[in-house]
Structure 1
Amino acid sequence: MADKVKVFCIMFNNEDKREYSAGEVLSGHVVVEVSTGVSAQIKAVKISTRGCAQVYWGKGPRQAPSPSSAAIANTSSQCVQEQVEYLCISQTLKETPDGEEFISLDEGRYEFPFHVELTQTPLVTSFKGKYGSVCYEVTAVLQRPLNQDQTVNREFSVISHVDVNSPWLLSSVSTNNEKMIGCWIFTSGPISLNVNINRMGYCNGESIPINAVIENCSSRLIVPKAAIYQIQTFMANGKTKSYTKLVASVRGNHIPSGCTDTWNGKILKIPPVSASILNSSVIRVEYSLAVMAQIPGAKKLKVELPIVIGSIPYNGLDGRSSSLSRHFSMDMSWLALALPEVPEAPPNYADVVSEEEFELHSPSYSQSEELERQLGGQALSYIQEFRFQPPPLYSEVDSHPVHS
C-alpha cells in the first residue's frame, strides 16, 4: 500500500548553499521512511538532475517539459512555447537484484546518498520571469511493484558567474540627448541631458555614481530622475516577447527655467536582482540606466546607458589603472637620476630684480652720506646685502639665543 511509505523526500548535504555553478558537486540523499509495524516493497530508487529554459506566452494548453534537449514549439497560432535543456543526469541509487522481483523495506528510515557533478559547460543562471524561466531540479522516483510510482522534486539555484572586473565592463559609458520644447515660432528653448558613468559592470548592493549635466533652456520647470530597468526578452518559434520592469529609481531637484543642474556622482543603489543573462538562446535578462527629464505638458526627455549586473564584485582596480600606474612609475624613474646629490642654493634676489626696481628702491646721495656716518661704512652695501639676500634657512634651533 502507498501509505506504508510515510516520508519520501530529497535532502541536500549543504542546505545553506544558495547557488551552484558549472563543475560543482551537488550532493544529498533521498529519504524513505516506512511506517511503524509494516514493510514496503520497492523496485528501485532513481534520481534525475535536470535544468532547462522554458518560454511560454499566448492562449492554449501549456506543454509539459520534455527530456529531449531539442527545442520544442507549439504549433497553435494562439500559443508560443519553446524549451531548451541545459542539464540532464540520471542515476540509480537502489535497484532490485537480478532474479528478484522487489526489495522489502522494514519499518524505519532509509537514506540513499547521491553525488551529481554539474557539467563543466557554462550553465544559464536560474531565473523566473514574466513569460519564461530557467529552472534546475532534482527529481527522485520511488518505483513500486504493486503501487503507482512516487515522485518528488527539489529545486536548486544555479549561477553563471559574470566578473564585473572584465575589461569590457570597466569601460566608461556616456550619452547625451536634446529636446526642443514648443512648436514652430513658439519654441522656448532646448532641454539637454549629458550623462556619464565610470563603468558598465556592477553587482547587487553596489551603488552607481551618476555624472550628469541637465540644462534647462526652456520656459518650463523640469524634474530630473534616474532609474534602473530590467529588460526581459523571450524568444520562441521565431517570435520575440519583451517585458520591462522598474527595479530602482532616484529623483533630483527641480530645475527652473534657464538653470542647469550638475550631478557629480549622484548615487543610485542596486537592489537584489537577478544577474544579467546573456548566454541563453531563448531568454535574455539585461539592464539599463535611464536618466530622464520630466517636462509638464510634453513627452519626457530620456537617455539610456546599458549596464550589466554581475556576480563577482568590483575589486577597485581596473586593468587601465594598473597599466597607467606601471607606466607612470617607469616614466618617473628618470627623476632619481636627474636630482643632484646636494641641492643648490637659491639665486640672490638681486639677480632677478629689474634695473628699474633697483633704482626705485636705492637711497639718495644725502641719505647715503647720513647712513654711512651712522654705520661707519658704506650704507649701500649694508642695505643691498639685507634687501636682496634670500631669507635664512628654517631651523628649530635658535641661532641667536637670548641669555637672561
Structure 2
Amino acid sequence: MILDFGVRNLRVVFDSPELNSPPVYSSGDVVSGKVLLELTGETKVHSLKLHAEGFARVHWTESRSAGASSAYTQNYSDEVEYLNHREVLLQADNGDVTVLQSGKHEFPFSFQLPEETLVTSFEGKYGSIRYWVKVKLHRPWATVRKVKKEFTVIEPIDINTPALLAPQAGTKDKMARVWYRNCGQVSVTAKIDRKGYTPGEVIPVFAEFDNGSSRCVEPKAFITQTQTFIARGTMKQKHSVVVTLRGDRVGPRCRETWHGRAIKIPPVGPSVLQCRIIKVAYTLKVCVNVPGTSKLCLDLPLVMGTIPLHPFGSRTSSVSSQCSLNLEWLRMGIPEQPEPPPDYSAIVSDEEAEQNMAPPSAEDDFTGVLQRPYFAYIQEFRFRPPPVYSEVDPNPQFSSIRRRCMTC
C-alpha cells in the first residue's frame, strides 16, 4: 500500500437536479459537476486534467478444435468511440507548479455531449456501453493520482411513431409427429396492438390455439431479450426470458382462445438499436408445447422505449387492428391556453335580457303546460343567463335530506 501524505481525498461529483439521485443524460445535454480535492498540507501541483470518454466494447473467447489432438483459442474484440472530451482544470500558464494550501478545493467543470445520437448505456455478458469522467492530478516527484466516475446515457425512444404503433400479428402451424407418424396439425395465431411498449405496461395478447392433433398441448407466451455482440464478422448472442405467461391445456381436437390475456413487462433496459457492435432486442413468443415433438413458436417483435404512449395514442392503438392508422391530426397545433368564452352581454342585448327576465303574465303561467307545445317554454329560457357559481350550497335542506336517504 502506497501512502500519499499530500492528498487526502480526490473525487468527482456530478450536478444532479434531485438529491441522492444520479443524473441521466442524452445526446446534446450538458454534463456539469465539480472535482473535490482535499489536501492535508501545502501541495505543489503541476496540473489537474479531466478526460470524458464513452465507448462500446465487446470481447469474448472461443476455443476451436483443429483436429483430434490440437486445439486453439480465438479472441474476438471490437470497440466504437462515442465521446472524447479533454479539459484542463488547473495548470500554470508558464508550465510551473501551482501551490495549493491545506484544506478543501473545488474545481467546477462543464462540457456538452455530442449532438449526434449516442447509444444508451448497457452492461452485458460479452460487452458494454459505458461513459465516464476520469481526473488526473499531476504533482512533482509523486505518483499520478487518478479518479474515475461513470455516468448514464439514455437515448430516448418514442413509441408514439407510426412504425411502433403498428399492430403485430402472425400465424404459424406445424404437423405433430410421434415416431414418424402424423398425429394431426397444430396451429397458433396471435396479435398484439402495437410494436412499441415501455417497462411497466401490460401487453394484451389475442391468440387462438387450434389443436388438431390427438394429444393435449400447452400454450404459453413469454418475452425474451436477445443480446447480440459483433466483432470481426462473428456474432455472439445471449438469450434470456424476461417474463412468462402460461395458459390452460388444450385437449385433442379442441381450440383455445385468448381474448387479451395480460402479460406485464417488468423493469428492463430499453432496446439498443443504433450501435454497430451491440444490439439489444425483445420478442414476444407465443408458443405451443406438443408432447413428443419440437415446440411451435410464433415470434412478434417488440421495441422497449423510454417515452410512454401519449393519451391520444392509446385510443388509436386500440383500434389500429380495425382501421389504418393516420397520425396527421397529431401534428396539428393545439393552443397552450384555450380562449375564454364570450360574455353574456356580448351575445344578448340588455333589452332582450330585461324582457326575458320579466315575470310571466297570468295567462302565460304553467297551468296550461299540456295545452301548448313544450318547445315554446324552452324558448323562454333560451337567453337566460347561467346561474352564478358559488361554493355555498343554495339548497342545504335538500342536500341534508339526500345524504340521509343515501345512508339508509
TM class, shorter-chain normalised?
Answer: 0.7 to 0.9
What residue is the counterpart of 1:315 in the other structure?
310
Deviation at 1:322, TM superposition (A): 5.7
After superposition, where does 1:250-289 map in structure 2 within 5 Å?
Answer: 250-289=245-284
Of 4, 7, 25 in structure 1, the residue corresponding to residue 30 of structure 2 is 25
Flag the 1:106–1:298 CA change in 2: closer, same or farther, 3 A. Answer: same
Q: Quick one: distance in 1 between partners of 2:257 and 2:370? A: 53
Q: Quick one: distance in 1 between partners of 2:95 and 2:177? A: 89
2:44 counterpart of 1:44:
no
TM-score, normalised to structure 2's length? 0.72
Deviation at 1:183, TM superposition (A): 5.2
Higher Rg of the two aligned structures: 1
Provide structure 1 residue ranges, at least 5 long, that are not aligned to the other structure: 61-75, 327-396, 400-404
* 1:133-172 Cα distance to aligned partner (Å, 9 max, x none): 1000011111111111111110111011111011111111
The number of aligned residues is 311
* 1:260-296 Cα distance to aligned partner (Å, 9 max, x none): 1111111111111111111111111111110111122
What residue is the counterpart of 2:84 in the other structure?
88
2:154 counterpart of 1:159:
yes
Counterpart AA for 2:52? T
After superposition, where does 1:238-387 map in structure 2 within 5 Å?
Answer: 238-318=233-313
Deviation at 1:105, TM superposition (A): 1.6
* 1:352-404 Cα distance to aligned partner (Å, 9 max, x none): xxxxxxxxxxxxxxxxxxxxxxxxxxxxxxxxxxxxxxxxxxxxx989xxxxx
What residue is the counterpart of 2:61 in the other structure?
58
Moved over 6 A (4+): none
Q: Secondary structure at the match of 1:205?
A: coil
After superposition, where does 1:198-277 map in structure 2 within 5 Å?
Answer: 198-277=193-272
TM-score, normalised to structure 1's length? 0.73
What residue is the counterpart of 2:94 in the other structure?
98
Q: Among the aligned pairs, what percent are the same residue?
A: 36
Counterpart AA for 1:192? S
Flag the 1:324–1:221 CA change in 2: closer, same or farther, 3 A. Answer: farther
Flag the 1:245–1:34 CA change in 2: closer, same or farther, 3 A. Answer: same
Counterpart AA for 1:12? F
Deviation at 1:297, TM superposition (A): 2.2
Query: Would the aligned equivalents of 2:26 and 2:154 in 1 still touch at CA under 8 Å?
Result: yes
Q: Secondary structure at the match of 2:59?
A: strand
2:144 counterpart of 1:144:
no
Q: Secondary structure at the match of 2:135?
A: strand
What residue is the counterpart of 2:39 in the other structure?
34
Q: Quick one: distance in 2 between partners of 1:98 and 1:186? A: 89
What residue is the counterpart of 2:402 in the other structure?
none
Q: Secondary structure at the match of 1:98?
A: coil
What residue is the counterpart of 2:357 in the other structure?
none
Q: Quick one: distance in 2 between partners of 1:311 and 1:10? A: 28
Flag the 1:99–1:86 CA change in 2: closer, same or farther, 3 A. Answer: closer
What residue is the counterpart of 1:187 in the other structure?
182
Q: Quick one: distance in 2 between partners of 1:323 and 1:113? A: 46
Query: Would the aligned equivalents of 2:46 and 2:95 in 1 still touch at CA under 8 Å?
Result: no
Counterpart AA for 2:88? T
Flag the 1:172–1:78 CA change in 2: closer, same or farther, 3 A. Answer: same
Counterpart AA for 1:216? N
Flag the 1:202–1:98 CA change in 2: closer, same or farther, 3 A. Answer: same
What residue is the counterpart of 1:13 in the other structure?
15
Q: Secondary structure at the match of 1:2?
A: coil
RMSD (Å), alpha carbons: 2.2
Q: Quick one: distance in 2 between partners of 1:321 and 1:191? A: 32
* 1:171-221 Cα distance to aligned partner (Å, 9 max, x none): 111111112222588422111100111100001111111110011121211
Deviation at 1:106, TM superposition (A): 1.6
Counterpart AA for 1:208? I
What residue is the counterpart of 1:176 in the other structure?
171
Counterpart AA for 1:4? G
Q: Quick one: distance in 2 between partners of 1:83 and 1:300? A: 37
Q: Quick one: distance in 1 between partners of 2:283 and 2:273? A: 14
* 1:55-102 Cα distance to aligned partner (Å, 9 max, x none): 100069xxxxxxxxxxxxxxx9611111110111110011123162x1
Q: Secondary structure at the match of 2:214?
A: coil
Q: Quick one: distance in 1 between partners of 2:165 and 2:306? A: 14
Flag the 1:18–1:290 CA change in 2: closer, same or farther, 3 A. Answer: farther
Deviation at 1:222, TM superposition (A): 1.3
Provide structure 2 residue ranges, at least 5 long, that are not aligned to the other structure: 64-71, 317-323, 331-368, 372-408
Deviation at 1:107, TM superposition (A): 1.4
